[in-house]
């Protein structure tokens, strides 16, 4: 092994060790296509409140501290997407509500669909809190 490769390995191990302190311990299991409720805190001046953003997870990307997920919902016939860092201290809770059946890793095709075409068929899963 060359010294350049060895340095790269040591650097990666050091970064992983530093990042592991900031990672959340309990992350609920959710997948692409799941409908989730994301509870996150908003600071307005000196006040702080919790707001819920509920929608379908259309993408997950990254690893470790850089892991992100994208949630899409329809508000007043307009699509709204929000990208959340998974290990952010502002995210208080992520609750999977319903599991959707998908065959893709990214659901960007849902952006072009409207009405009932946006709905995914339900998949029965243990990690969702179906009513």
Q: What is the pLDDT along the chain (131 residues), one digit of tens a residue?
A: 788 888 888 888 888 888 888 888 898 999 999 999 999 999 999 999 999 999 999 999 998 889 999 999 999 888 999 999 999 999 999 999 999 889 999 999 998 888 888 888 888 777 776 55
What's the confidence (pLDDT) of residue 88?
92
Query: Alpha carbon 119 to chain centroid distance?
Result: 19
pTM: 0.82
Contacts of 95 (CB under 8 A, 6+ apart): 28, 36, 37, 39, 129
Q: Is residue 13 part of a domain?
A: no
Contacts of 104 (CB under 8 A, 6+ apart): 32
Is residue 98 within 8 Å of residue 35, measured between CB atoms? yes
Q: Is residue 16 part of a domain?
A: no
Q: Is residue 44 part of a domain?
A: yes
What's the confidence (pLDDT) of residue 129?
64
- The residue range of the domain holding 91 is 25-118
Q: Is residue 17 part of a domain?
A: no
Q: Is residue 124 part of a domain?
A: no
CATH number assigned to the domain comprising residue 76: 2.30.30.790
What's the confidence (pLDDT) of residue 41?
96
Q: Is residue 20 part of a domain?
A: no
Q: Is residue 79 part of a domain?
A: yes
Domain total for the chain?
1
Q: Is residue 129 part of a domain?
A: no
What's the confidence (pLDDT) of residue 130?
55
Edge to edge, the sheet with strand 91-98 lists: 78-85, 68-75, 47-61, 35-44, 91-98
């Amino acid at each position: 092994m060359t010294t350049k490769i060895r340095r790269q390995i040591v650097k990666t191990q050091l970064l992983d060790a530093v990042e592991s302190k900031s990672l959340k311990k309990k992350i609920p299991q959710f997948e692409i296509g799941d409908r989730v409720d994301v509870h996150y805190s908003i600071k307005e001046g000196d006040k702080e409140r919790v707001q819920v953003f509920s929608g379908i997870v259309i993408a997950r990307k990254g690893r470790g501290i850089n892991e992100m997920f994208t949630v899409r919902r329809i508000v007043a016939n307009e699509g709204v997407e929000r990208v959340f860092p998974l290990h952010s201290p502002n995210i208080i809770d992520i609750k999977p509500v319903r599991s959707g059946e998908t065959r893709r890793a990214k659901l960007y095709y849902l952006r072009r669909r409207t009405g009932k075409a946006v709905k995914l068929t339900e998949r029965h899963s243990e990690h969702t809190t179906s009513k």
